[in-house]
A and B are shown apart, each in its own frame.
Chain A
């Protein structure tokens, strides 16, 4: 079976010379729910943005359904991106916000309207179609953002810490709703988070990343059947998976610290050095 995503030694160096991401090799099958897990600065968002085509890799290649990103649409596959914030247009009602990608694409009005209704139904916001974003809670705004992603009927959903700003209870609810959508719509999802628990609960596979330099250090399969109920969150298997991921993250952090302690706190060590020189 063709890979949904194929990342071939893709790396990213910013124009100021900062190495954001060491070369990454990763294959994602259709229907997988893959989470990129790691601390800030590990390049997980960078990797996701490169998959989405928002950033281009400095080196290496990324194929989506065996096509480079700019040829994906022609091949009939669609991808949608959900940002860290809801990024809604505050001057438009929920309905118009969800319809935006269809409007930009120039789709027919009544067909678009129907898909907007379906999409709002999926995220449970049909009643709020005529509200303005500011009238909604953070969790509801995020649902609108997801509805806007689903309205294009994507096969691939890329999500960049979408629930990071929400309280834990709302986040758990949205996580389990997201899994329902994933199963119902047979989506392939790549999900960025820095929460170990969110990664375990959601994923078929977790890609563990580490910072300085940003790199992939480990991959862990979560072999737990779906649907995953709320009991899974408090089960011993859940704790075991969480421990595996935590150990992996700690090991990577310790390794980074021992191989190059100076790079761990570049500002701190530079100022230490200058104080030493001043003392001499």
Chain B
């Protein structure tokens, strides 16, 4: 079972790549329509100077946006939980933030904020923020009522209840939020780069994809796409690992069950 977890997806990948290569050869598809997998990897190595720095720029935006989303989202969730008034007043606007397509407001933000990096980070943060707010709020409210009475009966202060009861209860939801939010931060960064176009100094992977499209350099486009996908998967794996580290010893979702 332990090996199957890795082996089965790997077999699927090998088959898919073989099929891809086979079709490209059999149907004699030109590289400017669909390059073979080997050509994509070659291009990735050849253009690494260009693509590597683009990857770094995209990841930098993703990182800052994710960080901002985690900090802001948690703070907003704490505010919501402390007072029903605050939640009632502001929750609809959190939803508004979530349902407004980022491509529609990104041009505005890019015009308003001079620094291109900051404007991209803001766009990506808006995309990644909502899952952090809603998950952490849900978590902070998901306190076992029996334990809550116990704390109340022992005259626990608000602070003790927060630190000893609410935050640990919220942890599983918080880490669930991290998983969603990290992926969204990357998507937000890429989408914002698309809208920003040239974007000034540090160009990201989205810009490379756009440029490759104009130049019909499809292998490079695929290589950039591959980098985005791999970055997304690695982010997910990293968040899973963090979650396991924090919850592994007690929460049902992370505890290994005997089979």
Contact = CB atoms under 8 A, between A and B. Distances in A.
Interface of A: 52-54, 81, 83-85, 87, 89-92, 100-101, 103-105, 132-134
A89 B149 contact: no
Interface residues of B, dominant DSSP: helix
A85 B150 CA distance: 11
Given A54-B153, A134-B255, 8 more contacts: A52-B153, A83-B149, A91-B171, A92-B168, A103-B164, A105-B154, A132-B249, A132-B250
B251 A90 contact: yes
Nearest to A96: B164
Nearest to B151: A104
Nearest to A158: B153
Interface residues of B, number: 21
Contacts of B151: 104
Contacts, number: 46
A217 B252 CA distance: 45
Interface residues of A, dominant DSSP: loop
13 contacts: A53-B153, A54-B153, A83-B149, A83-B150, A84-B146, A87-B144, A87-B150, A89-B165, A90-B251, A91-B168, A91-B250, A101-B154, A132-B250
A54 B164 CA distance: 20
B152 A54 contact: yes
B53 interface: no
Contact of B168 (A89, A104, A134): A89
Interface of B: 144, 146-147, 149-156, 160, 164-165, 168, 171, 249-252, 255
B147 A87 contact: yes
Contacts of A53: 153
Contact of B250 (A54, A81, A90, A100): A90
Contact of A104 (B144, B155, B171): B155
Contacts of A81: 150, 153
Nearest to B147: A87
A52 B156 CA distance: 16
